[in-house]
Amino acid sequence: MTARVSTRAAGPATDRTVVGENLSLPLFRTLSGVLAGHPYLKVVVDRVENTWHLLDTAVHPFHVDYVATRVLGMDMAALDAGLDAFNASVYTDPGRRFLLGVLSLHTDEDVAGRERIFLVLETTEADTMHGELLTFFYEFVRERVDGRLPLLLKPANHRQEEELSAISEQRVPRVLSHELFGNRTRTPLNPGEAVGRLRFFRSHEEYAKSAAGLGWADIVAMPCLPDDVPRVAGFLNTAPTTPLSHTNVLASGWGIPNAIVRDLAQLVDAEGLDGAWVRYRVREDDILLERLDEEPALRAPAWHQQRIRLEPPLLDDTPVLDLHRLRAADRDRYGTKAANLGELHHVLDSRTADLTAYYGRPRPPRADLLGHLAARLGLSSPTRAELASRAAEFAASTVAAPEGVALPFALQQHFLASSPALQQGIGKLKMALELDAGDVLDPLCLQLQHLIRQTPVPESIARRIGQAFPGAHRGERLVVRSSSNAEDLPGFSAAGVYDSVTTVRSPAELLDAIRQVWASLVSPRGVRLRHQVGISLDDTYMGVIVQRYEPAVLGGVLVTCDPTRREDFRNVYLNCSPGSPEQVVDGTVLPQQYLYNTVEGGGRTVALGSWGEGLPAATRARLAELSLTGRLLQSHFSGSGPGGGDVDRPLDIEWLMTERGDFRLVQIRPYAL
């Protein structure tokens, strides 16, 4: 059995582009290609000649190339030399000659349950057509499409949605992006390929009964995978989720396929796939699930031989410090999260970091994107120094880093050394790991976690904590977060592995929360995952971040890439929900999902999640500023690593919006790709 989203046939030797003809369904199928599982056809409307061009998709992958070379007679060298100016003439000029769009073919069911075929017309996401032009575009195409085919206009961005809001839906029938794709049967989340045994669980109760027996060759399928899923060969979700969930971040970091396949239960029942060996592949426009006739001869995956070595931390008498006094290099004393927040304070307070490196990189045929950044920041022909200064000011005016303190690794080590029982428990766990005694590993971890949470904190340590953060004595609500040296590593993200506590209100609760965070370092899942990649327990340490709780009206996560289209250098992906960002990453709600273009500008709604309507236009505009700031920070945090770093490496940023409308970044780290 093969369940496939799409296939792409080989292109013809000749160009079958049609000019001036009306569009029938057979002609559409002749010229179309497939994108994201749907047949599509590029169209160019020439307002001067009062005609349109239906492009042969296999021959003409880009509208702009076709218009420049085939209609205007330009050569590619001339187009490349002035590409941005040419793009402006066809995408943003209100009096433009050419209107560029895509027609895609979709199916749904009518009220009687019969299948209905319809076409959707849309522009590119950067197109700024006003309402009158959108109406002309729709009506021009409607007149030339087979009248038996319903045609809907899909606004490509928030600006187009606002322009259309003043136009009757009887005149311009429409469908919004989240309405069209929110109920897609199959959605790729993380690309990859695996051969393994499909394990299908219809509920979390079924999963819980069998989770202990899952192995590296299993492909786990269920409505929504839990955050504590072990390292396996692949994931399949049968209910909607977000690309920014903990489980998909893990899939990305592990390099395993992950997708939403909402009709999997029917496929499993029809083909008897539960427990069967399958080939599973996820691509941007293709999901393959193919049953194999016999059990394959499999080798253990490469990560079984993976060995990650950590740099020895500094365990001298390191002080408890305010976050703003840390820098990135302090990760070997306070952990990665604390060090990154300290570095964020430095970047925002000093305003000396050059945040333009991402835009300064060549994007052929462009020498750079600095002109686009200048436009986003409202500058005209700035020098590089002026642009860098404005970028730093923009970031500092848009976001703030959280206030708080960082507890060093040394404090955890002093606590562990204070108890002979703790030392004995650690010794037993180390012995079990050395002997690879998996059958006793979980009980030993649970016993040690319980012991850590119950062991009194020595007075000298409790005093240092209380002096550093007196807010606990005043009853302020605090948040306690983990900050380990064994996370955010190449090949090991640890997303969702360590604990945070958000409900602390007293000195006693503060000490309890700190011990809970320390104990999370030796959770059964954390120990197993680290052991699989060769991270020794001896090399693993836990710092702690203590922050004042900040009430949030909106919170979420953004990653400075499009997780489902890795080659896309324009967009960042943002998820949000009312309240704290934890709701987004832990899967308790299905968040709203947006894409923001940080090159040409603009944004669009991908999904409304658990809510019936999107955010107000003013809030969406603020999120566009947040997204641009995330891209600017990527220049520093991804471009300042060993050997200069890689400014194309995206960031994963947890954020919240306060009641005052201010943004706080509560976590910043590399996004696992």
Domain of residue 394, CATH code: 3.30.1490.20
Q: Of 515, 532, 548, which closes a domain?
A: 548
* pLDDT tens per residue across span 117-161: 999 999 998 999 999 999 999 999 999 999 999 999 999 999 999
Picking from 10, 1, 41, 4, the residue whose alpha carbon sits closest to that of residue 188 is: 4
Residue 299 makes CB contacts below 8 A (sequence gap 6+) with none
Answer whether residue 182 shows pLDDT above 90: no
Residues 230 and 143 in one domain: no
Residues 97 and 241 in one domain: no
Answer whether residue 165 shows pLDDT above 60: yes
Residues 579 and 629 in one domain: yes
Q: How far is CA 48 from CA 88, 96, 136, in A?
A: 18, 10, 13
Helices marked H in 103-157 — which ranges?
131-144
Q: Of 175, 199, 231, which closes a domain?
A: 175
Entry pTM: 0.90
pLDDT of residue 132: 97
Residue type at position 489: L
Residue 375 makes CB contacts below 8 A (sequence gap 6+) with 601
CA dihedral 186, 157, 54, 59 (to 10 degrees): -60
pLDDT of residue 321: 95
Residue type at position 357: A
What is the full DSSP assignment across 408-437? Answer: -HHHHHHHHHT-HHHHHHHHHHHHHHHTT-
pLDDT of residue 584: 62
**For residue 365, is it within any domain?**
no
Answer whether residue 343 shows pLDDT above 80: yes
Beta bridge partners of residue 122, listed in sequence order: 102
Percent of the chain's residues with pLDDT above 70: 95
**CATH code for position 235:** 3.50.30.10
Residues 438 and 452 in one domain: yes
**For residue 137, is it within any domain?**
yes
In the structure, what pLDDT confidence band is assigned to residue 181 with cuts at 50, 70 and 90?
confident
**Burial of 644 (C-beta count, 10 Å sphere; 0-12/13-18/19+):** exposed
* pLDDT tens per residue across span 499-528: 999 999 999 999 999 999 999 999 999 999
- Total domain count for the chain? 4
pLDDT of residue 448: 98
pLDDT of residue 12: 45
pLDDT of residue 135: 98
In the structure, what pLDDT confidence band is assigned to residue 237 with cuts at 50, 70 and 90?
very high
Answer whether residue 5 shows pLDDT above 60: no
**For residue 589, is it within any domain?**
yes
In the structure, what pLDDT confidence band is assigned to residue 227 with cuts at 50, 70 and 90?
confident
pLDDT of residue 232: 94
Answer whether residue 37 shows pLDDT above 80: no
Phi, psi (rounded to 5 degrees) for 189: -115, -50
Answer whether residue 8 shows pLDDT above 60: no
* pLDDT tens per residue across span 533-583: 889 999 999 999 999 998 899 999 999 999 888 889 999 999 999 877 766
Residues 117 and 49 in one domain: yes
Residues 12 and 93 in one domain: yes
pLDDT of residue 44: 98
**CATH code for position 621:** 3.30.470.20
Residues 463 and 599 in one domain: no
pLDDT of residue 110: 67
Look at 396 and 588; give whichever has higher pLDDT: 396
Residues 202, 203, 204: CA angle, nearest 5 degrees: 140
Picking from 584, 599, 607, the residue whose alpha carbon sits closest to that of residue 176 is: 607
**For residue 129, is it within any domain?**
yes
Q: What value does the mean pLDDT of the chain take?
A: 91
Out of 180-194, 220-234, 369-383, 615-629, which region has the weakest mean confidence (pLDDT)?
Answer: 180-194
Average pLDDT over residues 12-31: 91
Residues 92 and 228 in one domain: no
Residues 262 and 296 in one domain: yes
- What gap in Å lies between CA 262 and CA 238, rounded to an integer? 4
Q: Are strands 192-200 and 186-190 parallel, antiparallel or unpaired?
A: unpaired
pLDDT of residue 10: 37
Look at 3 and 48; give whichever has higher pLDDT: 48
pLDDT of residue 628: 98
Q: Of 489, 513, 548, which closes a domain?
A: 548
Average pLDDT over residues 264-289: 92
**For residue 180, is it within any domain?**
no
Q: Round to the nearest angstrom and report the end-to-end CA distance of the chain.
A: 30
Domain that holds residue 501: 306-353+389-548
**For residue 383, is it within any domain?**
no
Average pLDDT over residues 384-403: 97
The one-character DSSP state at 540 is: -
Residues 139 and 270 in one domain: no
Average pLDDT over residues 439-454: 96
Average pLDDT over residues 264-269: 93
CA dihedral 611, 613, 614, 617 (to 10 degrees): -150
Out of 110-114, 479-483, 485-489, which region has the weakest mean confidence (pLDDT)?
Answer: 110-114
Residues 457 and 316 in one domain: yes
**For residue 368, is it within any domain?**
no
Average pLDDT over residues 216-231: 91
**For residue 366, is it within any domain?**
no
Residues 567 and 526 in one domain: no
